[in-house]
Amino acid sequence: MGTAVPGSVRQLSLQGRALAADRALLDRISTAERVADVLRTRIAEGFFPPGTRLAEDAIGSGLGVSRNTLREAFQLLTHERLLTHELNRGVFVRVLTVSDVADLYRVRKLVECAAVRGIDTPPHGAKRVADAVVEGEQAKKQLDWQGLGTANLHFHQALTALAGSPRVDELMRRIFAELRLVFHLMADPRRFHEPYLATNREILGRIDNGDGPGAEQLLAAYLDKAQQQLVDAYAQRTTDG
């Protein structure tokens, strides 16, 4: 068994003191991340639409956190491209561009299609996919078109979860939060989301039958169509402006 040399002992001691100094940061960072998670979810659910100014006093009071913690959470979400800071004006929910749409769908096609491509038997995660389809169908019955949009995102999150990768889940959670900002451009959420409900059911059928390539084919066409609808909405907004 080796004996630590004096230099190594001093190095370990210095590292220990440095980490001890960082200890006080742990609770604060953890709280900031939890606050960021709450705000990210609210953004994804459409509670804070694009262009909304986030009032520090109201949000900090509502969540019961300090201004410093809230600002750390804002920084995290700014890094994720969900928020933007405007000098002397404050923090706002970001308004995405048509280039953002193209990039988001590029990532979606790479990840979602890969998640279903290799399926050859009904996967364990198929129940979560089915639950999201039922959620969407219930929202339609209740004429809850924003709820249908949320159910649709849950469907795609369930698809990517079939990859069985926590890293993929984390990546797509952020992608879908950004995507919800894009969906706000659609003046008629029913017209945008409702037609895809039948396709969701069809993709689920392919998955239940172990037909990964068939599910991928449907999904790729689905994503291409949705991207084009959103690009057209951006073009219309530019024309109207």
Q: Is the pLDDT of residue 187 over 70?
A: yes
pLDDT of residue 9: 56
**CA angle (117 as vertex; 193, 107 as ends), nearest 5:** 55
Is 156 within the bounds of a domain? Answer: yes
Residue 15 in domain: no
Could you give the CA distance from residue 145 to residue 198 in angstroms, rounded to a whole number? 15
pLDDT of amino acid 19: 59
Residue 47's domain comprises 26-93
Cα distance between residue 73 and residue 30, in whole Å:
10
Task: Please tell me the distance from the alpha carbon of residue 119 to that of residue 113, in angstroms, as a whole number.
Answer: 11
The dihedral through the CA atoms of 125, 129, 134, 136 has a sign that is positive
Say if CB 104 and CB 175 are below 8 A apart.
yes
Point out the domain boundary residue: 93, 109, 128. Answer: 93
pLDDT band at 99 (very low <50, low <70, confident <90, very high): very high
Q: Picking from 48-57, 157-166, 184-193, 198-207, which range would have the lowest pLDDT averaged per residue?
A: 184-193
pLDDT at 43: 84
Over residues 124-147, mean pLDDT: 95
**Cross-strand bridge partners of residue 53:** 92
> Are 131 and 70 members of one domain?
no
Residues in the chain: 241
Q: What is the CATH number of the domain that holds 49?
A: 1.10.10.10
Q: What is the pLDDT of residues 7-64, one digit of tens each?
A: 565 655 665 566 566 555 556 557 888 899 888 888 877 788 889 999 999 999 898 9
